[in-house]
Structure 1
Amino acid sequence: MTLPALAADHPPIELARVAFTQLTGEHVERIAPLSRGWGHLSWTVRTASGRYLIKTGIRRPHQCDLFRQVAAQQIAAAGGVTTPLVVAVGDGGGPLQRPCYVQTWIQGTDGSTALARLDTEGTSQFGRALGQALAALHRIPGPRFAEDCAGTVTYPSWQAACTARLQRLVTATENAKALPAPILYAVADRLTALIDGLNGDITPRLTHRDAYLPNTLLLKDSPDAAGLLDWEAAAFYDPVWDFVKLGMWVFDTHPQLRGAFLAGYTAHAALPDGFEERLTVYQGIEYLAAFPYFGAAWPDEAMLDGFRKLLADWMDRHHLAGARS
């Protein structure tokens, strides 16, 4: 299936209105587009029964992508995580001519916007609430290690999952030519050794894999309650993986959240044995993943430059010789 390209802005609002009614059977009283995000186009909808959101993907736009997101979101909600409920799913044959889904609306403010408005005590409360939300997520078990919650690709062990991901990244980075080959192979060799040394007792848990402030929600303007949004990258992984993006995009940029987050998290789920050793493996893999992504799939030189520095620091920590750029 070849999807029609998205318009520079939202498709005509009438198409979203008709799509919503076809999927839910409800008359739309009011509909308005949300500002365009990185991963989705969305419209807020008001009906007699309440408020909803209708969404269609940008980066992951196909039907299979949508089902993976929906599966993760419903599993998270059933496991006690505060997140919108998906109430209807449409294929690409509807008015939008793209797969879409309808979810409930949760009243709140995204974490990035909310943090700018909070005082010191409110920031601490929100940090603890975020930690509690991630701990709840990480208590949800998976049947096997998998690249998504629909079980599209699964693995017999965590080492097998990490090795397969690394091999895909090496090939993609070679093709993107965004990283010199000597650096790529030095990093890949070290990661291979580190993966081989991972604890064999790691078990699959629901992992968000895109846990940064715009994907969090401060609920009803109360900083002591938080939710999670946007499940397009979710998988059954080692939950320590979530601490890579938390480190880069939350703790490093908002260090005042670190202590409160960890206090909230560890009140409900202890950090596992070997946490730092596991985290450094996943950092290396995620830093490497940026090069085919921002070097070819979604070119962004500023992001690439930032990841070059992160990877160089990672190489220094692991005493890898050779040029850094």
Structure 2
Amino acid sequence: MPYSGEEMRRLTERLLGQTVTANPMKMDLGYGNENWRVECGGRTLLVKIAKQGHPVAKAESASRAQRLAHASGAPVAREVLLDTQCEAAAGRIVRILEFLPGHHPIDVLDSPSSIDTFFESLGRAVAVLHSARCDGFASRVGGSPSFPTWAEYVAYRAPQIADRGRSCTLFTGTELTDALDEALCLAQQVSRVVEPRLTHRDLYLDNVLAHADGQVGALLDLDIAEPWDPVADFVKLQWQVFPRYRTAAKTFHSAYRTISADPPLFEERLRVAQILELSNHVINAQAMDHMDYAQDALRQLDHVLASAA
């Protein structure tokens, strides 16, 4: 059952031992949590209550990613609390983050100068995020199994995608397995230059906050962040963001390079990530009956596969 404002007040005060000073406000955002904005102890907080049965391993990975990103200096909210079996919330997972104000980027990208400001700021923010080093490549931050090389991780992940893809009716013939075979081959070629870095993996405008002047306020929702090849964060940007703004890609890349050197073998690494990520998007979207999104992801994957590596 959804919480009432009074129940949220009591829950927050019990967890933090501080007084809530205004009526909690329920927020209509996200898909997997019940989210509340709460004024407590002189701070504005975001209280996230997961659905019953949400996997603890996923919550712990998201928490580690949030803390690692914050420690790197990336513009992300500071995590205040994680309780994976919150007695006061009937055993549900509760996370509390500092609430960061801001606007959806589309609401402020209304001039050439604001567009340049935003994508310059975003390029720097993502480069800082990618400075966060991880111990190995894995499907969870701090999770196992972990692999010392990108090629070994891709060899672990690709068969999982192929197995799930057998139930996806949008792929024809051997299209998926051929694409994954190509990704495996390319991963072996580039693996020597790839280091495991914190990778957002869901980087598009819905997951960024902007200030009124166009500066990035925060990167949001690191729930599926993983220790990956950070070039994977360019997949959604190239697919869903850069084509909307003529100067975006050039401005972003120039700013990224002020923090981090150009990733070596960028195009080959991007192709590996595109095959893995776009295949996943097609499979997941069809499984959830989000057919427009699945078809869009498939069109993008077909475009990638039709182009030379």
TM-score scaled by length of structure 2: 0.91
Distance 1:47 1:251, change over 3 A: same
Say whether 1:17 aligns with 2:23: no
Distance in 2 (CA, whole Å) between partners of 1:268 and 1:74 is 20
Say whether 1:253 aligns with 2:247: no
Deviations 1:111-136 (A, max 9, x none): 34333xx3221111111000000011
SS at the partner of 2:48? Answer: strand
Distance in 1 (CA, whole Å) between partners of 2:163 and 2:178 is 14
SS at the partner of 2:37? Answer: strand
Corresponding residue number in structure 2 for 1:107 = 101
Offset of residue 172 of structure 1: 0.6
Distance in 1 (CA, whole Å) between partners of 2:76 and 2:102 is 11
Corresponding residue number in structure 1 for 2:80 = 87
Offset of residue 39 of structure 1: 4.3
Distance in 2 (CA, whole Å) between partners of 1:182 and 1:308 is 14
Distance in 2 (CA, whole Å) between partners of 1:216 and 1:146 is 24
Offset of residue 62 of structure 1: 2.5
Offset of residue 315 of structure 1: 2.6
8 Å Cα contact 2:65-2:141 kept in structure 1: yes
8 Å Cα contact 1:129-1:226 kept in structure 2: no
Q: Kindly tell me the number of residue pairs found equivalent between the two proteins.
A: 307
Distance in 2 (CA, whole Å) between partners of 1:299 and 1:65 is 23
Report matched runs for 1:90-239 at 5 Å. 90-97=83-90, 98-115=92-109, 118-219=110-211, 221-239=212-230
Deviations 1:241-262 (A, max 9, x none): 1101111121123333222211
Answer with 83-92 or 70-79: which moved more.
Answer: 83-92
What letter matches 2:40 in structure 1? T
Corresponding residue number in structure 2 for 1:61 = 54
Distance 1:191 1:58, change over 3 A: farther
Say whether 1:73 aligns with 2:58: no
SS at the partner of 2:87? Answer: coil
Which consecutive residues of structure 1, in runs of 5 or more, have no partner in the other structure? 1-6, 320-325
Corresponding residue number in structure 2 for 1:4 = none
Corresponding residue number in structure 1 for 2:233 = 242
TM-score scaled by length of structure 1: 0.87
Deviations 1:122-165 (A, max 9, x none): 11111100000001111111111222222333112110111211
SS at the partner of 1:108? Answer: coil
Corresponding residue number in structure 2 for 1:285 = 276
Distance in 2 (CA, whole Å) between partners of 1:202 and 1:128 is 24
What letter matches 1:96 in structure 2? A
Compute the RMSD of aligned alpha carbons. Answer: 2.2
8 Å Cα contact 1:39-1:59 kept in structure 2: no
